[in-house]
Amino acid sequence: DAGVIQSPRHEVTEMGQEVTLRCKPISGHDYLFWYRQTMMRGLELLIYFNNNVPIDDSGMPEDRFSAKMPNASFSTLKIQPSEPRDSAVYFCASSSGGENTEAFFGQGTRLTVV
């Protein structure tokens, strides 16, 4: 398996535009996580899915943020409209669940909103 794949790696957009980040988890992993990395808060969990169903979205900062997982191999995180304070690195991770599970991270998407 190629690991968790995120796209794009870098995104620069203007304030007010819609941004869509994409993630392909490792095949067979039942859990998918979206994290945001900032200097102030470190790795912040935004939302996670189990078997494609959103379980906990309490970390999603505002209604401008939404996430979907239409099937087991694809998830999106959308920001509409984007704001400069959304600039951060967004990571997707997947895991198989269970006691000895670990999180496998994608390479991240560096988002800059100008």
Partner 1 sequence: ILNVEQSPQSLHVQEGDSTNFTCSFPSSNFYALHWYRWETAKSPEALFVMTLNGDEKKKGRISATLNTKEGYSYLYIKGSQPEDSATYLCAAYNFNKFYFGSGTKLNVKP
- Which residues are near partner 1 by CB under 8 A? 4, 31, 33, 35, 41-43, 45, 48, 50, 55-56, 91, 93, 95, 97, 99-108
Nearer to partner 1, 71 or 100 (CB): 100
| Min separation Cβ 60 and partner 1, Å | 14
Q: What is the DSSP letter of 67?
A: E
Q: Please tell me the distance from the alpha carbon of residue 37 to that of residue 91, in angstroms, as a whole number.
A: 7
Q: Please tell me the distance from the alpha carbon of residue 58 to that of residue 34, in angstroms, as a whole number.
A: 12
Q: Residue type for 96, please?
A: S
Nearer to partner 1, 45 or 72 (CB): 45
The pairing of strands 74-79 and 65-71 is antiparallel
Nearer to partner 1, 75 or 95 (CB): 95
